[in-house]
Amino acid sequence: MLDVREELTPMLSQYLDLCVAHPDAVVLFQVGDFYEAFCEAAEEVARVCEVTLTKREDSTGTYPMAGIPIDNAASYLEALLEADYRVAIADQIEEASEASGLVDRAVTQVITPGTVVDDELLSDATATYLGAVAGSGDETALATVDVSTGECQVTSGAEERMSEELDRLAPAELLRAPDAPDFDLGFETMVTDADPGTFEADAARETLSAYVAAPDSVVGSEAERRAVGGLLDYAEYTQGGDGPLEYVSRVRRYDPERSLQLDATAIRSLELFESRSPRSGDTLLEVMDETACALGRRRLVSWLRRPSVGEREIRRRHDAVAELLDRPMARETVREHLSEVYDLERLVSRVSRERADARDLRALKNTLDAVPEVKAALSEVESDPLRDLRDSLDELADVRELVGEAIRADPPQEITEGGVICEGFDAELDEVRAAEREGREWVSNLEERERERTGIDSLDVGYTQVHGYYIEVTNPNLDRVPDDYTRRQTLKNSERFYTPELKRREDEILSASERADALEYEVFAEVRADVAEEGERLQTLADSLATLDVLASFAAVAAANDYVRPEMGADAVEIEAGRHPVVERTGGEFVPNPADFSRGSVAVITGPNMSGKSTYMRQVALIAVLAQAGSFVPAREARLPILDRIFTRVGASDDIAGGQSTFMREMAELTDILHDATEESLVLLDEVGRGTSTTDGLAIARATTEFIHDEVGATTLFATHYHDLTELVEDLPNAFNLHFTVEKTEGSDGNPDVTFLHRVADGASSSSYGVEVAELAGVPPAVVERAREYVREGEDATPADADGDGGSDGDEARGSPDDDASTGESATPADAQASANGRASEGTLAAYVDGIESDDAADGPSTTDAAADVLADLRALNVAKTTPLEALNALDELKQRLDERDRNRD
């Protein structure tokens, strides 16, 4: 279009200028009640938003055009953001009526994934971050801002640390300074190449100096300053580029190591915020979220994501929860009033961005109305933290009064059309309104007066938009019309007139009405500006309300679920009758279990599939997370150390959907653990080493355990199906075995029935019960029977030790992956269950196949072809992409083909 620019109409040429100024965005251009896009942009908008692609015809040609209604823009904007577009909103910045020629337009906002501020596009519970990275090596800095609330934070450190921090915060959009590392990001984001100049030291200092008085004192290094500078400059650009964002009142520096570090893997595998299985759907957040308002909800997420490591801070939170637990009346009253609290942080930012309307200000007033009530409910509290919180609640009576007196209780959405400002607030406005009212009254009495004067009983006074006020006289009465009537309009049966006085009044009414609307808007804008002045006090209030809401929520959850206050600062993890906070809520009777892990101990946990190993390990970690976040915990008693990090490495099969080599990923995560864990860390390892051959897997598991035990000293829980690992405890003084118990009874068919007791006990497990678990899970009887035959064969044979790595003994032989010496692959009966659970089960299939292969070798060529076909099909099966049902069906079909082969052979 650039080449024909000279020939375009002024409007399209204006559109084109804006597109050139915002090359990375789709420009949406206000035309009346619509946002329009033209030419190529129109095609994209039509496709993504599913709106009709129309044509605009003018003297210069025909152009594609697509529009979205402004009133209803949110869902369309969401679609564009989801399709990875940035959207530049070009609003009309002058009234069409005032424009001489083309209406002036300017980009007032660039909407990008990291900078959305519209409530409809934001989630209540989580913050949407824009992030910026500058620097490299040990001097890498990461700055983030939540554009909707103004929360701006910066941190720095080694590249890997910052990469972890990025993964944890998962900003929706990321800016990179030219020298920033090219991180391998573990989350979806839009990477934006911002103007490199904004990241330069001087430019950044200047940007920052508009926000903080002494830029050098808030940031720790040049890299931090550059990251914040580039970040805020871009945030300003997206908000219309009118200078500093007033609502960013604080730029805070933080050190991620000052909180319990949970990396993205741990957050995911502990299911803090997202459930890994589409079926379960329950997360720690869902269980813990009894918050009453959005402020509290976001604070809860941030406390769970970043539990504290400060013993004093943790104790204070526990003190507050304890008191709120003891005072149910106060707690419930506080929660009730908090539920009337609007999203103050976002409200304040809208006020200072001049985006708040009259309803927002009323919402602010309602929120402020709740504050004295909350304070009153807390009047008798005795604990320091609650007293401090109560005393810190600023009622902002001045703001509350101002809004109460200025803004009507139920104002319209539109702030330019009157009906917003209360009577009695502004003398000039009242005067103009009085004039308007008086005029209208005069008109409304006119009919009666004129009927009397003319003697025409059917005379009517009315009003139309086009012609204004009129006096209507029907045709038969026209002869009685007085001389001062002037004809305005002729209808079929009547004539309409006006008088000079009526005309004068009409002009007065209209101009008073217009003036009143304009004045109202002016007064409203003044009130809004006065409120904006108090932004910082409002932010502080929001902060206290958020904290109070989370503490009350913790107390409510503790009351409802029988949680107990943990004792902090212990030297060991000691839990009596601990429960998994999420699993205990998802039905069935939950069996509480104890934990007693001294610092640096390594517990090797064995037990059949489904016996409760993973649940147990996660429960220990979740109890630690909850305690350090400030909550009570699901247990009868708990004494806990203050942990610095929690690491989790869960079985390779759980990551199969990730697409990458699961074993590589497993090992990369293991490397991080071995590298970064300390004596204050808790490490959960679930089936480490499973992603490779048995020999290698066991070797890695063994070496890992030894290393953690001897060198790292982290408290470690290691769930494994490698029963050989249980022997390790004999050599490692700080290691011990735990196992999960099952009850085995003889079933009616003579085979064993297994009941899971979900109870942890000392020592190693004696059996795997994989086949029984497979049966319980519904694996077809033919397969289960065949598996039993294999197990019996295995038991009769001498324990295989072809790998020369020790082999197994007695009962353990069945569960030991070492048994499967013929392939060197893992063939635990566990895998049968894994299959039923929707996980890959290459081990079991491999065992099955190898059985067939050796059969075939013995039987000669006659039956080998059929078996080879089966094998080929099996090898072609993409386990990662196969659902459990498909896997079972495939297995059943292969089995039938082999049965067929056996019958032919007989």
Ligand X SMILES: Nc1ncnc2c1ncn2[C@@H]1O[C@H](COP(=O)(O)OP(=O)(O)OP(=O)(O)O)[C@@H](O)[C@H]1O
Please say which residue, 607 or 713, places its beta carbon nearer to ligand X: 607
468, burial (CB in 10 Å: exposed 0-12, middle 13-18, buried 19+): middle
Compute the 3-state secondary structure of the chain and give helix, strand, coil in percent, each to the nearest 5. Answer: 50, 20, 30
To ligand X, the closest distance from the beta carbon of 612 in angstroms equals: 3
Provide the 8-state DSSP code for 633: B
Kindly report the backbone phi and psi dihedral angles of residue 211, in degrees, each rounded to the nearest multiple of 5, phi listed first: -105, -35
3-state secondary structure of 526: helix
To ligand X, the closest distance from the beta carbon of 880 in angstroms equals: 18
Please say which residue, 547 or 653, places its beta carbon nearer to ligand X: 653
Please say which residue, 539 or 841, places its beta carbon nearer to ligand X: 841
Kindly report the backbone phi and psi dihedral angles of residue 134, in degrees, each rounded to the nearest multiple of 5, phi listed first: -140, 155
To ligand X, the closest distance from the beta carbon of 562 in angstroms equals: 15
CA 846/CA 851 separation, integer angstroms: 8
Sheet holding 86-92, edge to edge: 54-58, 61-69, 34-38, 25-31, 86-92, 105-111
CA 369/CA 349 separation, integer angstroms: 20
To ligand X, the closest distance from the beta carbon of 698 in angstroms equals: 16
Look-up of token digits 């964002």: 245
To ligand X, the closest distance from the beta carbon of 814 in angstroms equals: 15
To ligand X, the closest distance from the beta carbon of 359 in angstroms equals: 47
CA 177/CA 429 separation, integer angstroms: 52
3-state secondary structure of 108: strand
Q: H/E element holding 31?
A: strand 25-31
Please say which residue, 410 or 589, places its beta carbon nearer to ligand X: 589
To ligand X, the closest distance from the beta carbon of 708 in angstroms equals: 20
Cα Rg, the chain, nearest whole Å: 36
780, burial (CB in 10 Å: exposed 0-12, middle 13-18, buried 19+): middle
CA 342/CA 544 separation, integer angstroms: 14
Look-up of token digits 């003697």: 455
Residue 822, token pair as written in the block: 């013929």
Is the Cβ–Cβ distance between 267 and 168 less than 8 Å? yes
Please say which residue, 259 or 833, places its beta carbon nearer to ligand X: 833
To ligand X, the closest distance from the beta carbon of 602 in angstroms equals: 18
To ligand X, the closest distance from the beta carbon of 581 in angstroms equals: 12
Please say which residue, 266 or 538, places its beta carbon nearer to ligand X: 266
CA 803/CA 631 separation, integer angstroms: 50
To ligand X, the closest distance from the beta carbon of 615 in angstroms equals: 3
Beta strand 715-719 pairing with 682-686: parallel
How crowded is the C-beta side of 828, counted as CA atoms within 13 Å?
32
CA 630/CA 314 separation, integer angstroms: 5
To ligand X, the closest distance from the beta carbon of 611 in angstroms equals: 4
Number of H helices, E strands in the chain: 29, 27
Residue 891's alpha-carbon distances to 55, 770, 831, 904, in angstroms, are 57, 17, 14, 20
Please say which residue, 308 or 609, places its beta carbon nearer to ligand X: 609
Is the Cβ–Cβ distance between 770 and 752 less than 8 Å? no
Is the Cβ–Cβ distance between 46 and 53 less than 8 Å? yes
CA 393/CA 230 separation, integer angstroms: 35
745, burial (CB in 10 Å: exposed 0-12, middle 13-18, buried 19+): exposed
Q: H/E element holding 516?
A: helix 500-533
455, burial (CB in 10 Å: exposed 0-12, middle 13-18, buried 19+): exposed
Please say which residue, 816 or 833, places its beta carbon nearer to ligand X: 833
Please say which residue, 245 or 610, places its beta carbon nearer to ligand X: 610
Residues within the interface to ligand X (CB under 6 A) = 583, 588, 590-591, 593, 607, 609-615, 758, 833
255, burial (CB in 10 Å: exposed 0-12, middle 13-18, buried 19+): exposed
**Which residues participate in the annotated binding site?**
607-614
Sign of CA dihedral 648, 652, 658, 662: positive
Please say which residue, 353 or 613, places its beta carbon nearer to ligand X: 613
CA 801/CA 781 separation, integer angstroms: 30
Please say which residue, 760 or 813, places its beta carbon nearer to ligand X: 760
Please say which residue, 282 or 438, places its beta carbon nearer to ligand X: 282
CA 287/CA 619 separation, integer angstroms: 14
Residue 43's alpha-carbon distances to 39, 46, 550, in angstroms, are 7, 5, 47
Please say which residue, 81 or 583, places its beta carbon nearer to ligand X: 583
CA 3/CA 898 separation, integer angstroms: 71
Please say which residue, 557 or 738, places its beta carbon nearer to ligand X: 738
To ligand X, the closest distance from the beta carbon of 784 in angstroms equals: 17
**Which residues participate in the annotated binding site for ATP?**
607-614
Please say which residue, 488 or 758, places its beta carbon nearer to ligand X: 758
Maximum Cα–Cα distance across the chain = 127
To ligand X, the closest distance from the beta carbon of 588 in angstroms equals: 6
Residue 415, token pair as written in the block: 């702030």
To ligand X, the closest distance from the beta carbon of 23 in angstroms equals: 51
To ligand X, the closest distance from the beta carbon of 647 in angstroms equals: 18
